[in-house]
Amino acid sequence: MIIKKPSIFIYTNEPDAAALTEICAGIEEEGVFFELKEMETSNLDDLAWNAANDSMLGSGIAIKGKYAALQMRGLNKGRNIQSYQNPTKEQCRKLGANSARAIKKLAFK
Amino acid sequence: MTYIAGVDIGNSTTEVCVGEADLNGSIHFLTSSSCPTTGTKGTLSNTHGIKTALKQAMSKINRNMEDITLIRLNEAAPVIGDTAMETLTETIITDSSMIGHNPSTPAGAGQAVGEILLIDNLSRGVSGTAYIVAAPSSFSYEEVAALLNQSADSLDITGVILQADEAVLVENRLHKKVPIIDEVARINKLPDGVPAAIEVALPGQTIRMLSNPYGIATLLHLNAEETRTVTPIAKSLIGKRSAVVLKTPGGNVRENALPAGEIYLEAENSTSINLDEGAEKIMQVVSDAGNIRDLSGQPDTNVGNMFNRIKKGMSEVDNIPDADIHITDILAVDTMAPVLISGALAGETCLEKAVGIAAMVKTQQLPMQKIAEILKSELHTDVKVAGVEAVMAGLGALTTPGTKLPLAILDMGGGSTDAAVISEEGRVIMTHQAGAGELVSMLIETELGLSDRHMAEQIKKYPLAKVESLFHMRMENGQMTFVDESIDPRFYGRVVLLAEEGFIRIEEDIPMEKIVQVRQDAKRKVFVTNAFRALQKVAPDHDLKNISNVVLVGGSAEDFEIPEMLMDEFSNYRIVCGRGNIRGQEGPRNAVATGLVLSYAGEIQ
């Protein structure tokens, strides 16, 4: 049996380092685990949708360059919950927090 | 063809009903409409609202406003409801001696005692003294953690207070775990070098030491006298997930009783009562006083100012000298209002005792004739002020299927609750009571600590639901509803109102159960109390048992739960009580307007 921690999946494609750090911090502050994976896909919507569907918790984040998106399992591809182009530090932190709050069934920030 | 329009100007809504009269005088109803009243009821600015409503109604039957032959206005009772709220207690923190709040993610658990040390001054700390380090948001979590780890060996750091929402981030990076409180907005107000105690509760629990006076005394080494002064602090920290208490020399939390003042009743049995006595006593005194000519408050007290404000507002609207305006009835309701504690560091609130009051302001006469003249010249139609409001409402209410005389009507509007009893011979006894829909909105607004009245109005009108996932939500009655199309993420995890045009998000983070409870309590406190008060006044021999039928009309009778509450209460008196259905189609609205059109038939016969 393979035991994996239930975690939020973050699929990246050459991500912006600062954005990635802040998003991870947002998730960490909410106390949820996350896993990072660098992918071949370069489409943001595909990345987010795949991350959400692969995550046991059903919450996924995509970061491609300076683009970031939050997606949840059950939603159609492209219907991201949040997506940013060139997000600020605060927006990244909130995006991360929201991916965790989605699982905790708390209102988004 | 003659088109007759009945126009009813209410405190909050103007209603219109249009009928067609044939030659032998029988009436055929065509259309109706309603729109918000413009300006205070009975003033000239009402004409805008009247015209809008008339236009709306006529356009439904593809006619113009000019086709109307006769407009009949109600002889509106010269009473206007007004509301005010007065807090009776207040809590003041001097020298900012506590922080108690519910950050969503504090870190660590347990209590810590130490001197406050700002992170800038970390180098000034000496070994052997316990410190609680305070860090503003200009320091990132990595910097805070690095600095704390550096000095972990030389200094005894027992706890951390952060301004940013980063408690978990800092804790994960600390070598030595300590309780951490975050989201303290006004951290710059923390005095350096003062002994303090912090506590973070275990997950799922609330704090235990700092919400207990002896707990604070144990942690901060207080004597008996000092312990007495921290009791209000402990009280206001009950139920919190984290707290900070500072031991400042002059620091204190005071619970002040505000001088509320006396209410003077000029009545059959003139008397007075202090507002402090609470709503129940005040209402007893009001009902014992008999017919009230005027109410006033002790000058230069809260209640005095409140009554003056109401009277002044009324006289400004009507240009009637002060002396002609009387407050003839009040409804007082006890309530609790969350008030921002002055001197608080993280926006803490404290529940303060308050009294909500609705007053019935009576003037000599409303200038209805003037409104009629203006309408006449602007619309070039005949306009007549016809009929007393309560009689018209009775006539309209009788068009409800299943009603007959004698009949009692309870008109629950925005500003007042009116009752009338119409005997078999057609004699009418009526009364106007202060307090209705607007008082309910005010109670909801204050008890939930909402920022605006509009939101309270919405909460009053619509049932609630909690969006639990993007595909399902739980209604306030426990029922689950699933949707095919995903719910907008803006509503995720929130309590929403189920309005006709979609969801309305409640911004404040208040549990659904609490909102439901506050809403129902407010409605019960106002409408059930007033229904009994009003009907008792008009019932033959002032005995409710002499009433057999009650028809509920007016805007608040449309509410989704008020009629059921009243039905429930009245069933104990074997009274048939229910929401009216004017002309079998209008629901409880439009009774007066319908009555005005009907009374035309009576006049020409």
Question: What pLDDT is recorded for position B366?
Answer: 67
Question: What pLDDT is recorded for position B85?
Answer: 77
User: B482 is written with which tokens?
Assistant: 């699933």
Q: Is B490 an 8 Å CB contact of chain A?
A: yes
Do B486 and A101 make contact, defined as CB atoms within 8 angstroms?
no
Closest of B416, B604, B593 to residue B14, by C-alpha:
B593
Q: How confident is the model at residue B509 (pLDDT cuts 50, 70, 90)?
A: confident
Torsion angle defined by CA atoms of residues A34, A38, A41 and A46, in that order, rounded to the nearest 10 degrees: 10
Question: What pLDDT is recorded for position B311?
Answer: 79
Span B357-383, average pLDDT = 83
Q: Going by DSSP bridges, is the β-strand pair B130-135/A7-13 parallel, antiparallel, or unpaired?
A: unpaired
**What's the CATH number for B402-580?**
3.30.420.40
Q: Where are the alpha helices (DSSP H) in B152-258?
A: 167-173, 213-220, 224-236
> Residue A4: left (phi > 0), alpha (psi -120 to 50), or beta?
beta
Bigger pLDDT: B231 or A75? Answer: A75
Do B141 and A25 make contact, defined as CB atoms within 8 angstroms?
yes
Q: Is B203 an 8 Å CB contact of chain A?
A: no
Do B490 and A101 make contact, defined as CB atoms within 8 angstroms?
no
Q: How confident is the model at residue B323 (pLDDT cuts 50, 70, 90)?
A: low
Mean pLDDT score of chain B? 87
Query: HSE of B49 in the Cβ direction (CA atoms, 13 Å)?
Result: 24
Topology (CATH) of A7-103: Rossmann fold (3.40.50)
Do B486 and A79 make contact, defined as CB atoms within 8 angstroms?
yes
Q: What is the pLDDT of residues B245-283, one digit of tens each?
A: 888 766 566 666 667 788 899 988 889 998 888 889 999
Question: What pLDDT is recorded for position B95?
Answer: 55
Q: What is the pLDDT of residues B465-490, one digit of tens each?
A: 999 988 999 999 999 999 988 898 88
Question: What pLDDT is recorded for position B353?
Answer: 84
B397 with B579: CB under 8 angstroms? no
Predicted confidence (pLDDT) at residue B392 exceeds the cutoff of 90:
no
Percent pLDDT > 90 in chain B is 40
Q: Tell me whether domains B82-88+258-363 and B93-254 share a fold.
A: no
Quote the longest CA-to-CA distance of chain B.
104
Q: Is B165 an 8 Å CB contact of chain A?
A: yes
Q: What is the pLDDT of residues B561-589, one digit of tens each?
A: 999 999 999 998 889 999 999 999 989 99
Q: How confident is the model at residue A44 (pLDDT cuts 50, 70, 90)?
A: very high
The side-by-side arrangement of strands in the sheet containing B549-553 is: B428-434, B416-422, B407-412, B549-553, B576-579
Predicted confidence (pLDDT) at residue B318 exceeds the cutoff of 80:
no
Domain boundaries, chain B: 1-78+366-400+587-605, 82-88+258-363, 93-254, 402-580
> ipTM, 2 decimals?
0.90
Question: What pLDDT is recorded for position B367?
Answer: 74
The whole-angstrom separation of Cα B10 and Cα B15 is 8
Q: Which residues of B touch A28 (CB under 8 A)?
A: 168-169, 172
For B168, the closest of A29, A72, A74 (CB atoms) is A29
Distance from CA of B210 to the nearest CA of A (A): 25
The side-by-side arrangement of strands in the sheet containing B271-274 is: B271-274, B262-267, B292-297
Span B380-395, average pLDDT = 85
The whole-angstrom separation of Cα B525 and Cα B527 is 6
CA distances from B7 to B40, B298, B389 (A): 16, 40, 11
- For B49, list phi and psi in degrees, rounded to 5: -65, -40
Chain B: residue whose CA lies nearest to A72? B470
Q: Which residues of A touch B104 (CB under 8 A)?
A: 106
The whole-angstrom separation of Cα B448 and Cα B466 is 17
Q: Is A109 an 8 Å CB contact of chain B?
A: no
Question: What pLDDT is recorded for position B352?
Answer: 82
Chain B: residue whose CA lies nearest to A73? B470
For B493, the closest of A30, A79, A105 (CB atoms) is A105
Q: Is residue A14 helix, strand or coil?
A: coil
**What's the CATH number for B93-254?**
3.50.30.70
Do B470 and A75 make contact, defined as CB atoms within 8 angstroms?
yes
Q: How confident is the model at residue B238 (pLDDT cuts 50, 70, 90)?
A: confident
Q: Is A22 an 8 Å CB contact of chain B?
A: no
Residues with Cβ within 8 Å of residue A104, at least 6 apart in sequence? A30, A32
Span A81-107, average pLDDT = 93
For B169, the closest of A28, A72, A74 (CB atoms) is A28
Question: What pLDDT is recorded for position B77?
Answer: 67
Give, as one character, the DSSP assignment of residue B527.
I
Q: What is the pLDDT of residues B198-227, one digit of tens each?
A: 999 998 899 999 999 999 999 999 888 888
Q: How confident is the model at residue B175 (pLDDT cuts 50, 70, 90)?
A: very high
pTM score, whole prediction: 0.84
Chain A: residue whose CA lies nearest to B507? A107
Q: What is the pLDDT of residues B72-91, one digit of tens each?
A: 988 776 666 677 777 777 77
B21 with B45: CB under 8 angstroms? no
Predicted confidence (pLDDT) at residue B340 exceeds the cutoff of 80:
no
Do B492 and A102 make contact, defined as CB atoms within 8 angstroms?
yes
Q: Is B489 an 8 Å CB contact of chain A?
A: yes
Which of A23, A29, A83 is the best residue to mutate to test the B interface, defined by the most B CB atoms within 10 Å of its own CB?
A29
Q: How confident is the model at residue B328 (pLDDT cuts 50, 70, 90)?
A: confident
Bigger pLDDT: A70 or B192? Answer: A70
Identity at B71, one-letter amino acid code = I
B188 with B229: CB under 8 angstroms? no
**What's the CATH number for B82-88+258-363?**
3.90.470.30
Q: What is the pLDDT of residues B14-73, one digit of tens each?
A: 999 999 888 777 888 999 999 998 887 778 888 899 999 999 999 999 888 888 889 998
**What's the CATH number for B1-78+366-400+587-605?**
3.30.420.40
Span A58-83, average pLDDT = 93
Do B492 and A82 make contact, defined as CB atoms within 8 angstroms?
no
Do A107 and B492 make contact, defined as CB atoms within 8 angstroms?
yes
Q: Is A92 an 8 Å CB contact of chain B?
A: no
Inter-chain Cβ pairs, chain A and chain B, closer than 8 A = 42
Distance from CA of A40 to the nearest CA of B (A): 29
